[in-house]
Amino acid sequence: MAEIDEDAILARAKSLCAQDGFAWELDFTLPYPPAGHLRGSHYPSEQRRQRYLAQARAELLGSANDA
């Protein structure tokens, strides 16, 4: 069975999350955000994050097994 790098899985999960219009996490590296920075932002529940991770893992394992 092919091994997939956990960083690759996380990166793909974040990409899938962004495609659905969610922000994976708050970006604390930004300088002081303007007022209302969080207004309109959507963040996935822990259950949804787990689904994105599972989907990313399945996609990457599928593509690794095809190669």
pTM: 0.75
Per-residue pLDDT in tens (0 to 9) along the chain, 67 residues: 567 899 999 999 999 999 998 988 876 666 665 555 555 678 899 999 999 999 999 999 988 777 6
Q: Structure tokens of 6?
A: 């956990």
Q: How far apart are CA 5 and CA 40, in angstroms?
A: 33
Q: Structure tokens of 8?
A: 């690759």
- The structural domains of the chain, with segments of one domain joined by +, span 1-23+42-67
